[in-house]
Structure 1
Amino acid sequence: MRIVAGTWRGRKLEAPEGRDVRPTSDRTREAVFNTLAHRWDADDFTLHGARVLDAFAGTGALGLEALSRGAAHVTFIDASPDSLRLLHANVEALGAARKVSIVRGDAVRPPPAPEACRLVLMDPPYASGLETPALTALAAQGWIAPAAVVVVEMPTGREMVVPDGFTLDDQRTYGRAQVAYLRYRS
């Protein structure tokens, strides 16, 4: 697993052994960030200088990709000690500690946000179905800025249940991954 583009292009990330953590594939990450760059960059969203939230962060691959491509700051939320260990190792290896905050916690019961984020990246465990409850909780705690872009990875075939305050702008399939692109309209 590697950073696909930007400042840290080609840099290797620590990945978990086994199947408990399933990092977003390089191919899917590349497609997500290309979609963000080409679909919204000309609109009212730009990744450059954005505050980003990576919920269910796992190894941090999504958020670190955002930093590599110009995001100003990423907050990672994850509850798993194993994931947090990998995340800390990846942040340290890239020298990114000054640009990140790591919250050990549950994205379905998050603490209040210190600042709202313009981009939310979310890759909950595939079997969990936590997409909608997490989005609702994160919005209620102030993590999601008005007009923020939200990217949710799910298994192919799962219907995205869009919570109140969000609109589904696009949905794409990349192999076994399905990605929903939403906007927060509250």
Structure 2
Amino acid sequence: MANKVRIIGGEWRSRLLRFEDVPGLRPTPGRVRETLFNWLQYDIAGSRCLDLYAGSGALGFEAASRGAKEIVQVESDATACKNLRANAAALGSNRNRIVEKEVERFLSGPSDAYDVVFLDPPFAKNLVLTTCRLLEQNGWLADPARIYVEAEAGLALEGLPDNWELLKYKTAGEVAYRLFARHLQSA
């Protein structure tokens, strides 16, 4: 286990998340996480979070460290899920629930509304728009909800739900990251 990511703030500040290599795994860089959680500083405490394509778990564990009351981390890779469970145990977290399942299958099942969603799918697999539509159509988002989307810098996000408002946008190298607010659709 040579890979590690440091939690930036909150209860577990400076604690390390350790994980084995998984093909396609790209933990969100520290400076991007710091910017994201600055954007979300008034939204995280007491929130219910959904971490899709959880990978290293950096986003979900950072949210828990900063006071989210519940985090569901969805990941299909068995090794990544083993790492997530080990990190939750090492931190003594009872707020992180790990679900080993394909994200599309998970979002097609019974839904529950979340306040904050982290969406960081593997690059070059065309998963962003499908996942965003499933979140909106299948009742996974509270009103209002915040949705963080991390994707390739060149990916055009055309076709997102009409009731999603882009709040923030930045790039870091080959990565673009955006924060959206979801509002109720008017009848």
Q: Same fold (TM over 0.5)?
A: yes
**3-state DSSP of counterpart to 2:16:** coil
Residues 162, 168 of structure 1: 8 Å contact kept: no
Whole-angstrom distance in 2 between the partners of 1:47 and 1:35? 10
Aligned-pair CA distance for 1:19:
4.6
Residues 6, 17 of structure 2: 8 Å contact kept: yes
Aligned-pair CA distance for 1:18:
6.0
Residues 108, 138 of structure 1: 8 Å contact kept: no
Whole-angstrom distance in 1 between the partners of 2:126 and 2:176? 13
Q: How does 1:35-184 map to 2 (within 5 A)?
A: 35-37=39-41, 41=42, 46-96=43-93, 98-110=94-106, 111-113=109-111, 115-164=112-161, 165-184=163-182
**3-state DSSP of counterpart to 1:171:** strand
Residues 132-174 of structure 1: CA deviation (Å, up to 9, x unaligned): 1011112333221121000011122222234223222221112
Whole-angstrom distance in 2 between the partners of 1:57 and 1:147? 22
Amino acid at match of 2:101: G
Amino acid at match of 1:144: L
Residues 61, 96 of structure 2: 8 Å contact kept: no
Residues 24/158 of structure 1: CA separation in 2 closer, same or farther (3 Å cut):
same
Whole-angstrom distance in 2 between the partners of 1:18 and 1:88? 15
Residues 13/53 of structure 1: CA separation in 2 closer, same or farther (3 Å cut):
same
Whole-angstrom distance in 2 between the partners of 1:36 and 1:24? 15
Whole-angstrom distance in 2 between the partners of 1:18 and 1:60? 13
- TM score, norm. by length of structure 2: 0.87
Residues 40-69 of structure 1: CA deviation (Å, up to 9, x unaligned): x3xxxx211000000001121101000101
Structure in which a larger fraction of residues adopt strand = 2
- The answer to whether residue 8 in structure 2 is matched with residue 11 in structure 1 is no
RMSD, aligned CA: 1.6
Whole-angstrom distance in 2 between the partners of 1:148 and 1:104? 24
Aligned-pair CA distance for 1:177:
1.8
Residue number in structure 2 paired with 1:34:
38
**3-state DSSP of counterpart to 2:103:** coil
- TM score, norm. by length of structure 1: 0.88
Count of residues paired in the alignment: 177
Unpaired runs of 5+ residues, structure 2, are none
Q: Which runs of 4+ in 1 moved over 3 A?
A: none
Residues 122, 153 of structure 1: 8 Å contact kept: yes
